[in-house]
Amino acid sequence: MDGVVIDFLLSDAAFGELRKQFGESRAAHAFLLECPDAYLRRDALRLLSAFAVCRDGGCLVCPDCRRALKGVHCDVKFLPFDAEKGKITVADTDKLIEDVPLRPLNAKNKAYLLDASLSAGREEWQNKLLKTLEEPPENTFIFIATANAESLLQTVRSRCEILRIGGMEKEKIFDALCSRGVDEKTARFASGICGGQLSKAVAVAEDKKFIDTARFAVDFFARLKNTKKTPPFIAELNKRKDSVLLFYEMAELIMRDAAAISCGLETALPDEFKEQLEVIAADYSPEAAASAVGHIEYAKRRTDSGGNFAVVADELVLKILEDKYRCRR
């Protein structure tokens, strides 16, 4: 696990209190972790398992803690057992129920980590788990993680203590990426556009098409002065059909940043784009930029539902230009 992520999780008051409870052997035995970020969900589960198997309640330096944080502790079981399928099944729950009465092999406790983010809508495995959640053995701890707690059965939620984790600050994501070997320029870009989601930041940092598309989109809007520029733009975007939705995502971010500059607020995109963003901000009033965001969101929906690529893109540019002149400062 990344030290930056551990520090972020431990800075949460609920995690700090829970660590104390495990150290004093008074923690509950069933927990529901709500976290929309896949990476944080995984790492939070590992940290919680370290709390459970550690004889000191989560010292994070003993062999039990180190193995738990790496995801290789013999007394920590992950569900679904078939990671490739990604969904918890009734068979998984049956195996868990059979395994629960057995004593730990090395640690003083056992931990079961259930990632239910892809399985929340399935009720059978949840119903099978209810009795175990209500009456787990003294040395057994169950941690269920999902993107949205409300997607699980109320009967499951009522038997668990609920923990919630929000997004990470931009600088912490930047630090986490750098600690993974990502160069500073890419880390600054990825942390700026990920909306506090570490998993998205990692995906952005690993795929060059994100920053390439951002550069193309910023350059286009900085040069877009009238409809004469539209045909070359459509031709260039046509070469990027496989990433047109990504282009719209970047375009939306650019317009939000343009409005932010006009209002003296912080931008999401890094300093590499500052000069061009200022050109765009000078061309588009905050009202025009806000209207552009609405048009872009509509274009995304149309494209995603199978709308004609060229028609959608052409209409988008015309609407953006129309509002640009209509909302002249």
Residue 206 banded pLDDT, cuts 50, 70, 90? confident
Tokens of 278: 């200022």
Structure confidence by residue, pLDDT tens digits, 91-100: 999 999 999 9
pLDDT over 80 (residue 121): no
Residues 6+ apart with CB under 8 A from 72: none
Residue 43 banded pLDDT, cuts 50, 70, 90? very high
Q: Rounded to an integer, what distance in angstroms lies between the CA atom of residue 35 and that of residue 33?
A: 6
What the chain holds in terms of domains, given with CATH numbers, is 3-166 (3.40.50.300), 208-326 (1.20.272)
- Exposed, middle or buried, 183 (CB in 10 Å: 0-12/13-18/19+)? exposed
The bridge status of strand 110-115 relative to strand 161-164 is: unpaired
Provide Rg for the chain, Cα atoms. 24
Q: Count CB-CB contacts under 10 A for residue 169.
A: 12
pLDDT, mean of residues 172-183: 90
Q: Rounded to an integer, what distance in angstroms lies between the CA atom of residue 176 and that of residue 3?
A: 8
Q: Which of 4-8, 79-83, 86-90, 129-133 has maximum average pLDDT?
A: 129-133
Partnered with residue 79 across adjacent β-strands are 114
Instruction: Note the pLDDT of residue 313.
Output: 84
Residue 324 banded pLDDT, cuts 50, 70, 90? confident
The DSSP symbol for 114 reads E
What rounded mean pLDDT belongs to the chain?
Answer: 88
8 Å CB contact between 141 and 109 = yes
8 Å CB contact between 261 and 217 = no
Does an H or E element contain 31, and which?
strand 30-34
CA-nearest of 41, 42, 62, 40 to 51 is 62
Structure confidence by residue, pLDDT tens digits, 207-257: 888 888 888 888 888 888 766 666 677 777 777 777 788 888 889 999 999
Instruction: Note the pLDDT of residue 214.
Output: 86
pLDDT over 60 (residue 276): yes
